[in-house]
Amino acid sequence: MNGNDKMNEVRAPDATAGPMDEPLAEELGDEVSPLVVEAVGAALQAHFQSIADMPLPDRLLVLLAELEARERPQ
C-alpha cells in the first residue's frame, strides 16, 4: 500500500470530483495573462498569510494539549 492509498483511508467521497476531465484552459482559449496570475497569486498569498499569522484559538490549543496528555508512555 502506498502513501496515496493510505491517504484515501480517511477520505470521504469527493463532492467535487467529476466523472470526466474538464477541457484545458488553452483548449478554451481563456488562458489568464502571466501578470494577472502573478497579481492574483500575490493577493492570495497575502490573504492566506494574514490568517496564518493569527494566533490559534484557545480551544484548539486546549484540544492539542488534551490529546498529548492522553498519550501513555511507551
Partner 1 sequence: MTDLETPIRSKEFREGLIREMRDLRAFAVSLSGSFHQADDLLQETLLKAWSHSASFIPGTNLRAWLVTILRNTYYSQYRKRGREVSDPDGIYASRLATPANQEAALDMSDFQIALQKLAPEHRDVLLMVGASGLSYEEAAEICGVAVGTIKSRLNRARARLADLLGINDPSELGAGSVSEAVVRTQTSS
Instruction: Please report, as ranges, the residues that interact with partner 1 according to CB under 8 A.
Output: 3-4, 6-7, 9-12, 14-18, 21-25, 28, 30-33, 35-54, 56-57, 59-60, 63-64, 67-68, 70-72, 74
Find the shortest distance in angstroms from Cβ 68 to partner 1. 7
Q: How many CB atoms lie within 10 A of CB 60?
A: 9
Cell, residue 7: 491517504
Alpha helices in the chain (DSSP H): 3-8, 25-28, 34-52, 58-70
Find the shortest distance in angstroms from Cβ 18 to partner 1. 6
Find the shortest distance in angstroms from Cβ 72 to partner 1. 7
- From CA 71, how far away is CA 74, in angstroms rounded? 9
